[in-house]
Structure 1
Amino acid sequence: MVSRSRSLLTAVAAFLLLVVLWELAKLVLPADGVTVGGTRLLPRTGDAAMPHVWTVLERLGTPEVAGAGSRTVGAAVASGALFTLGLALGGLVIGGVSGVLLALIMARFGLVQRAALPYVVASQTVPLIAVAPLVAGWGGKIHILGWAWQSWASVMVIAAYLAFFPVAVGMLRGLTSPAKADVELFRALAAGWWTTLLRLRLPASVPHVVPAVRLAAAAAVVGAIVAEISTGTRGGIGRLIISYAQAATGDPSQMYAAILGAAVLGLVAAAAVGLLDVGLKRYRGSVS
């Protein structure tokens, strides 16, 4: 309980520090930024480029567009964030399950680990902006029992692509973390591979898997937002950022409100992993 409260206070303190640095930059730096020899070294800090934090927060309660009956910016951001969160969590589940299965296979067969692990690492060097159009193009050709591939499915697949790597690597590290003496003890007791997996390797992997899943959750959110922008999927926070950015010259606070919603979305996804941490807390430190 104490550690969880400390983590919450740390997160709040980090946010307040970011706010202070933002306002300090507006106060100290020139409004037109700093340019040396035609190269801009520091960004513009005027209200058209960096609105005050309180201006962004106030914008959340104003109508999205002028006119009666229009929803507020905050409502639009919340709706888009929930849509993106659903796709990101779906991608996290798909990527997480795939990563766990591959880690189990690699831990069981050394040949598979030596053959597959370099490709798993190399897969993360491919730019996401190049992967998104390929997934959307390939998915558009899929038709199963009358169901046509939707753009949101492409977003979920891309989110799973980013979530897969940290889970696979973290799980593999956890499965191979038990001390050699512990493994030898199970062998001396004539325990099979499955018994060793359930009684030794899986409990030992918990301290490695939970941080990996937390990282995967944040990566899935980033992947979902970028994929929404790349594939043109409507309804999510990514598309909302693009829509608001088109009017950023006249109302930059609206765009920053959407960006703030995306940041909060990442924190919510990472915090959701805390439920997994609570459920597996009994295994932490149970195996040296």
Structure 2
Amino acid sequence: MTALRYARKAVLALVGLAVLIGLWELYKSLGPARGGTLFGVPIWARAGNAAMPHVTSVIDAFGAQEVGGATIVRGSTAPTVFESVLSAAGNSLLWAGVGFAIGVVVGLGLALVMDRLQVLERALLPWIVLSQTVPLIALAPLVTGWGNGLSIGPLEWQRWMSVSLIAGYLAFFPVAVGMARGLKSPGAVPTEYFRSVNAGWWQTLTRLKLPASVPFLVPALRLAAAGAVVGTVVGEISIGLEGGIGRLIISYSQGATGDPSRVYTAVIGAAALGLVTAAIVTLFDLALRRYQRTGNAS
């Protein structure tokens, strides 16, 4: 049944993609080439080739060779756009993965601390929520400035570490809030039973609270993975880190007047990056399926 459910989701995703492509081509055929305004406010997107290339043009752009300095040239032959997007997405995935790991560790640690001491929950939770109101555009230069010249023993701070730290900043919030809620989810009956047998905090945590929190943790991890990808792309653009999908979008945007299709190849690469992270979390979801049934039952 689980395989059938995921197969159904995959089919629906493909249908949704086909509908999106159909709507894109329909608007391109019927929409105004120069856009449209209402009372001076732009409300209709431009449907001309400079703004909305055909889907087939975007697909063809993946096979075109690089002509600028946006990517690394392998030997004497320039890579294709597909190779450039794949390489950039791989780098961004690595940096986002590090940020995701940072966010999960920090988020779980905060949730456990808040569960252990309620006074810390009342003190920390407002600041955790408030932390997400800081714009990343303002945070990125600060993180980069803090990291410049920093070294821990033989390890020197690299620019990509700033990007991963920004990704972790977005990733920790849903994990901390979701896990804190999950740790408090066990019902009154099982909680009272553990108290009656004089179970300690660690035993109650490992045998009752952690299994019960899995249904809350998995959605939080999905949000954290998406946040890590967004933080990575924004961080790359903000600090000017080369080699990632964010900078590739900027590089292709600078030449969009000549070939707008390439911009969309990088955007598709960023979207695929999000899908890959979602798929990884789904594997984690499958591994913890039995705990989710236990958590729902309790």
For residues 1-288 of structure 1, what are the structure 2 equivalents within 5 Å? 1-65=3-67, 69-287=77-295, 288=298
Equivalent position amino acid for 1:280 in 2: L
Whole-angstrom distance in 1 between the partners of 2:18 and 2:136: 31
Whole-angstrom distance in 1 between the partners of 2:57 and 2:278: 27
The alpha carbon displacement at 1:65 in A equals 1.2
- 1:141–1:149 CA contact under 8 A, matched in 2: yes
The alpha carbon displacement at 1:14 in A equals 2.2
Q: Deviations over 1:227-280 (max 9, x none)?
A: 001011111111111000000011100111100100011111111111211211
Equivalent position amino acid for 2:190 in 1: D
Normalising by the residue count of structure 2, what TM-score does the alignment of the two structures yield?
0.93
- 1:140–1:148 CA contact under 8 A, matched in 2: no
Q: How many residues align?
A: 288
Relative to structure 1, is the Cα distance of residues 185 and 147 closer, same or farther in structure 2, using a 3 angstrom cutoff? closer
Whole-angstrom distance in 1 between the partners of 2:181 and 2:54: 44
SS at match of 2:37: strand
SS at match of 1:286: helix
Normalising by the residue count of structure 1, what TM-score does the alignment of the two structures yield?
0.96
The alpha carbon displacement at 1:185 in A equals 1.1
Whole-angstrom distance in 2 between the partners of 1:12 and 1:218: 20
SS at match of 2:293: coil
Greater displacement, 9-18 / 135-144: 9-18
Equivalent position amino acid for 1:62 in 2: A
Whole-angstrom distance in 2 between the partners of 1:82 and 1:226: 16
Whole-angstrom distance in 2 between the partners of 1:105 and 1:13: 44
5+ unaligned residues in a row in structure 1: which ranges? Answer: none
5+ unaligned residues in a row in structure 2: which ranges? Answer: none
SS at match of 2:294: coil
The alpha carbon displacement at 1:17 in A equals 2.1
The alpha carbon displacement at 1:144 in A equals 2.7
Considering only aligned residues, what root-mean-square deviation do their CA atoms show, in Å?
Answer: 1.4
Q: Deviations over 1:87-135 (max 9, x none)?
A: 0011101110110011011011110111100110111111111111110
Relative to structure 1, is the Cα distance of residues 119 and 42 closer, same or farther in structure 2, using a 3 angstrom cutoff? same
The alpha carbon displacement at 1:7 in A equals 2.0
Equivalent position amino acid for 1:149 in 2: W
The alpha carbon displacement at 1:220 in A equals 0.3
Q: Deviations over 1:156-206 (max 9, x none)?
A: 000000100011111111111111221111101211111111111000011
Greater displacement, 272-281 / 160-169: 272-281
SS at match of 1:41: strand
- 1:34–1:41 CA contact under 8 A, matched in 2: yes
Whole-angstrom distance in 1 between the partners of 2:25 and 2:9: 25
The alpha carbon displacement at 1:146 in A equals 4.8
The alignment-based identity, stated in percent, is 54
Whole-angstrom distance in 2 between the partners of 1:219 and 1:166: 9
